[in-house]
Amino acid sequence: NNRLKSIVLLAGFPVLLLLIAFAFALLISAFDNPDIGEGFANAVALLPSLLPLALGAALIWFVIAWFANRAIVAAATGARPLDRRTDPRVWNLLETLCISRGITMPALFMIDTEQRNAFASGVRKKDYAITVTRGLVETLDDAELEAVLAHELTHIENRDVQLLVISAVFVGVITLVGDLLVRSPRLLFSGSGRSSSSSGRKGGGGAIILILVAVAIFILARVLALGLRFALSRKREYLADAGAVELTKNPDAMIGALRRIAGHSELAAPS
């Protein structure tokens, strides 16, 4: 059920790309200074020619994210590799989990920060990695740390990183386009004004209305994209929690880890 809902959520991102392409078509139509009805008709006619451009931009972004995911994460976070010698405690816990599941052990990294966090990265088998923070390792006991590692290992086994990379690509494209538009309203309106002066009587204020509609679509698409990504991420997190409990056979350890990560030092007695 969780996987099905995730697929449905992911299907919403191409719809948002379609909205973005339509908003661009409205902008192009606005500079011809038509009336509102003619502007919408022109935008619909332009849409088939703009869709390949939107899909091409998303594809280029996707290829970069797919092949450089782990390198980008390491560069952005400053994570350093761990091995059995540098941190035998974390290494042995992860190795034991991998042996019990019969899977290849992913690379292990640590970020030197007091924050309590962990995440999986890599979209290809040879690039799989689990990164933990020093604050997390120092805060959790062995059972809780094992539960967190099992959680991230479940993300890898469920191919969640691939799923979230795809959603991040769509969010990135939509956010970038929205930022470029929303932060440059003067350019749009000045362009509309020049068009209006050159073709004066043709469209009146129709161009301004078309631009405002396009800006509204961009803002709506950005909000919806972020909402879809958060909803998708949350559903995968629930599934990974369940997978960690299945792997460790210790639900209290998972509960305790989540409470400590949230900032609660004591584990409440189970009801």
Return the active site residues: 152
Residue 125 is given by DSSP the state G
Is 203:35 a contact under the CB 8 Å cutoff? yes
* Pick from 177, 109, 162: nearest CA to 137: 109
| Cα four-point dihedral sign 240, 246, 249, 252 | positive
Query: Residue 119, SS3?
Result: strand
| Amino acid sitting at position 202 | K
Produce one character per residue of 213-243: b if its CB has 16 or more CB atoms within 10 Å, e if not: bbbebbeebbebbeebbeebbebbeebbbeb
What would the DSSP string read from start to end of 206-246? HHHHHHHHHHHHHHHHHHHHHHHHHHHHHHHHHHHHHHHHH
Q: Measure the CA angle with vertex 11, ends 72 and 235; round to 5°.
A: 70
